[in-house]
């Protein structure tokens, strides 16, 4: 059976950093949590999404000092948000329209999870290559 709502496919829970957190702090949190992205939140308000790729491409590759550069200055600001009760089809449409791989899930103004392209692949087509990759243990052979 295909999932109908975002809450059925999202990864619950939120890992977030303050806007003024350094990129080193954000990267250490990603490593500790074994994830590739964190929300940038000012209090309970989501102000951006920061990925490991953002750190590498927007900061390190430009020669920026990850100890002094803030998460907010490198993150994707004003992310597109979805609600847990939004249809999965709406999340897919938003990802396509905005060319993003993950959407913060917000309920009553508070972040409650993230839905990623991998989450959708696992739910919609569990036998796809993307779903298999999403289920694989991080850091395995061939991991990049």
- Does residue 18 lie in a domain region? yes
Domain around 30:
6-135
- What is residue 143's predicted lDDT score, i.e. its pLDDT? 45
Q: Answer yes or no: is 144 within a domain.
A: no
**Is the Cβ–Cβ distance between 82 and 98 less than 8 Å?**
no
Q: Which CATH number covers residue 58? A: 3.10.580.10
Judge whether 6 and 93 are in contact, CB under 8 Å.
no
CA distances (Å), origin 49, targets 22, 52, 82 = 14, 10, 14
Q: Is residue 143 part of a domain?
A: no
For the chain, 144 residues long, give each residue's pLDDT as a single digit of tens. Answer: 477 999 999 999 989 999 999 999 999 999 999 999 999 999 889 999 999 999 999 999 999 999 999 999 999 999 999 999 999 999 999 999 999 999 999 999 899 999 998 888 877 765 655 545 555 555 554 444
The partner residues of 5 in beta bridges, in order of sequence, read 87
Structural domain includes residue 33: yes
The domain tally of the chain equals: 1
pTM: 0.83
- DSSP state at residue 61: G
Provide the pLDDT for residue 128.
Answer: 56
Per the DSSP assignment, residues forming a β-bridge with 7 are none
pLDDT tens, position by position, 89-124: 999 999 999 999 999 999 998 999 999 988 888 777
In this predicted structure, what is the pLDDT of residue 144? 43
In a domain, 36, yes or no: yes
Asked if the structure places residue 1 within a domain, the reply is no
In a domain, 142, yes or no: no
């Amino acid at each position: 059976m295909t999932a109908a709502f975002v809450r059925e496919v999202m990864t619950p829970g939120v890992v977030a950093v303050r806007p003024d957190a350094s990129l080193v702090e954000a990267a250490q949190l990603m490593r500790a949590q074994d994830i590739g992205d964190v929300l940038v939140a000012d209090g309970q308000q989501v102000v951006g999404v920061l990925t490991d790729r953002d750190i590498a491409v927007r900061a390190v590759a430009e020669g920026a000092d990850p100890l002094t550069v803030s998460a907010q200055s490198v993150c994707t600001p004003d992310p597109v948000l979805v609600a847990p009760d939004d249809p999965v089809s709406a999340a897919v449409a938003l990802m396509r329209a905005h060319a993003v791989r993950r959407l913060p899930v917000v309920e009553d103004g508070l972040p409650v999870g993230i839905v990623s392209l991998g989450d959708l692949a696992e739910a919609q087509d569990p036998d796809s290559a993307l779903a298999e990759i999403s289920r694989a243990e991080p850091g395995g052979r061939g991991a990049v």
